[in-house]
Structure formats: structure tokens, C-alpha cells
Amino acid sequence: MDKSLLIETQGQEIIRKISEVYHLPESQAVIALKSSAFYKFLLGKGSYLLDDGAELNFLRYQNEVEYGAWNQNGVGGIAK
């Protein structure tokens, strides 16, 4: 699948999940996602994250919100 199509489809799924979990209107969920370090890495050249699917990528975004970095987990280790 084309990278731009993957970004669009996964982005919509992640935005929907952000809206649902954090009780934000869609417009604010878009801003929250696009201003995250995770999103910048997701769009980065050579990023492998799109291969993992929207659910895992939402969890990475959630890690950034809850633990301060998209690649951290609740026990202080590096998330996969």
C-alpha cells in the first residue's frame, strides 16, 4: 500500500481512538496527534511504524501522552 494512503487511513483510525479515549472533538484530536513527537517519527523517512498498524501506533501515541515518550512504557523500559 502507498505510504500516503497508509498515513491517511491509520491517521484517521488513530484520531478516532484519541477522540474516544481522551474525550476530545475530532479537530482537537488531529492537533494533538500532529503535534506529537510520535507523529513526526511516524512520518519520518525510513520509519517502520506504519507497518505495525493503527492499533499499535495508537498505543505508541498513548505512551507519549502518559509516559512522556512514545517509545517508553509504564515500567520505565523501552516499548516495542
Is the torsion defined by CA of 65, 44, 7, 27 positive or negative?
Answer: positive
Q: What is the pTM of this model?
A: 0.82
Which of 14, 25, 4, 28 is closest to 59 using CA atoms? 14
Binned at pLDDT 50, 70 and 90, residue 1 comes out as low
- How many Å apart are CA 37 and CA 64, to the nearest integer? 8
| pLDDT tens-digit series, residues 27-77 | 999 999 999 999 998 888 888 888 889 999 999 999 889 888 777 665 555
Tell me, what's the pLDDT at 32?
A: 95
Helix (H) or strand (E) holding 40: helix 37-43
59, three cell numbers: 498505543
